[in-house]
Structures are given as C-alpha cells and as structure tokens.
Amino acid sequence: MIRSIGIDVGGSTLRVAEVDLRSGQAEEGMQSIPMPAGARPDDVLEVLARAVERYPSELPVGLAFPTVAQHGYARTAANVHDSWIGLDVQREFSRRCHRPVVFLNDADAAGVAEMNFGAGRQLEARRVVVLTFGTGIGSALFLDGALWPNTELGHLMLPGVTDVDGEGYAAASVRTRLALDWPAWTQRVNRYLHELHRLLWPDVFILGGAVSERAEEWMPLLDSPARLLPAALRGHAGVVGAAWAAATDRMAR
C-alpha cells in the first residue's frame, strides 16, 4: 500500500488528508475541519466519515486521537467528551466509513511520522523521545526504532511542582495562557526535559507540536544533556503518522 488516509484529531481541529507513503507527504488539499461542539463520538465520527468519502474507496484510514488507544478502544479522553472512554473507536469508525481503520494515540502518530519520514529518519541513535508541545505535551518513546505506545509522559510530575503535571507546567498552551516570553517558557521546558532525561536517558529528543513552526526562536535557549532536534513534519506529522499506521497495519492490535 503506497497511499492511505490519515486523520489527526486535535482539541479544536480535525485534519484529514491522503498521504503518499513513498515520500511521507500529505497530498494537496488537506481538509481542516472545526471540531463539532461538545466533541461527542457520534458527531465527530459522522463528520469524519463524510470527510473521507472523497478518497478512493480502497484506501484504509489511520485515526490519530488524543487518548490512550488500546486494541481499538479509547481508554482516556483529553480535550474531548468523556463518553469516548471505553468506546471501540476502531470498529465504530470502520462501520461508518466502510474501510479498514487503525486507531492510535495522536503523539504516537506524530512520533512514527518523524521516525520514518522526518527528523528521526536515518538517525543513528538507539533511544529517541519525540515530544509534541501544544495544548498538552504528547510523547512517543522509541528504542532501536520500535515504539512503546501510549507513554503519556506529559503527565509526569516534576520535582518541586505540586499543583500541575508536566504539561500543566510546560505545554505551549501554558506559554500563551500566562503570556510568557520565549526565555521564560523555555526555562520550564528545560526543567521538564531534565526530569525526562534523569529517568529515561535518551540519546535524542525530537521536539514538535504547534511551536515547532518557530523552533529557531526557542530551541537555541534549551539546555539538555541529550541531543535536541526540531521536528521536520510540523503540523502534518499526526496525519502522516496515522496514514503510515493504516498502511502498515501497525498498532491495530
């Protein structure tokens, strides 16, 4: 399979595109659809089912979602309605769109995209952590190129920070909400990276998410014992990674 459909569900936007898996490029005309009010399963899945109708019927779908995705089921719900929890999303969406579906965590999708087509491609490093900084902090952990899914390292508690977890302290949304400049925000990111390094000892951090569009403004301010690389695919990573998972049938079980 050299083409498939990738869907990346964010807190406010649904992105859908056909992806060429020879290049890892999303085709022109990526759909960007506002999240239905309330972000309930029936509403979201119906909108997505209509969105994929324009693509060839033989193409499978990868659905990247802000949840712990386990055997097709949503086990948590971040920035969407709680009624997603316990739903067999993979089966339900396949029934609605009449295609094979692979359901996976959104940060894992971004991670496999970067490892296969972006900053991690041909990277000579055994231990790699991909982090996405946006509304929260997503994480994808790789050893020798293999993913350990659903790591949820954004919820790590930092020493001396008792009121919020890692993403509540250092996510990109925190910078916006508190009107922090880049130096003030990167001090928080440095604290988070140092705690991750203390626990995991990665060789490389790949840093993506919404703020990767302006990586040249803040990444030089970071301090980490591990090598730091900006994500290459930026806003397309989730869609590309979801499409890759669908085409390879990875993470389906």
Domain count, the chain: 2
Tell me if residue 52 falls in helix, strand or coil.
helix
Most distant pair of Cα atoms in the chain: their distance: 53
Residue 251's pLDDT is: 60
Under a CB-based contact definition with an 8 Å cutoff, are residues 113 and 244 in contact? Answer: yes
In a domain, 102, yes or no: yes
Q: What is the pLDDT of residues 114-155, one digit of tens each?
A: 999 999 998 999 999 999 999 899 999 999 999 999 999 999
Do 129 and 95 share a structural domain?
A: no
Same domain, 104 and 198: no
Same domain, 196 and 221: yes
- CB of 30 closer than 8 Å to CB of 16: yes
| pLDDT at res. 11 | 83
**What Cα–Cα distance (Å) separates residue 229 from each residue in 145, 217, 235?**
16, 14, 16
Phi-psi region of 251 (alpha: psi -120 to 50; beta: other; left: phi over 0): left
Q: Please give the pLDDT value at position 253.
A: 47
Instruction: State the Cα–Cα distance between residues 228 and 190, nearest whole angstrom.
Output: 11
Same domain, 80 and 28: yes
pLDDT at position 249 is 78
Same domain, 96 and 188: no
List Cβ neighbours of 59 (8 Å cut-off, separation of 6 or more).
Answer: 3, 4, 5, 18, 99
- Is there a domain that residue 149 lies in? yes
Q: Return the amino acid letter for 37.
A: A
Which pLDDT value is given to residue 183? 97
Q: How many CB atoms lie within 10 A of CB 43?
A: 14
CATH for 163:
3.30.420.40
**64 strand-pairing partners:** 8, 104
Give residue 35's domain range.
3-109+236-248
Q: Is residue 117 part of a domain?
A: no
Q: 222 and 242 in one domain?
A: no
pLDDT in tens, the chain (253 residues): 689 999 999 888 999 999 999 999 888 889 999 999 999 999 999 999 999 999 999 999 999 999 999 999 999 998 899 999 999 999 999 999 999 999 999 999 999 999 999 999 989 999 999 999 998 999 999 999 999 999 999 999 999 999 999 999 999 999 999 999 999 999 999 999 999 999 999 999 999 998 988 999 999 999 999 999 999 998 899 999 999 999 997 664 4
Residue 118: inside a domain: no
pLDDT at position 1 is: 65
Question: Does residue 213 sit within a domain?
Answer: yes
Query: Is residue 18 assigned to a domain?
Result: yes
Query: Does residue 253 sit within a domain?
Result: no
Residues 68, 130 within the same domain = no
Can you say whether residue 228 is alpha, beta or left, with left for phi > 0 and alpha for psi between -120 and 50 degrees?
beta
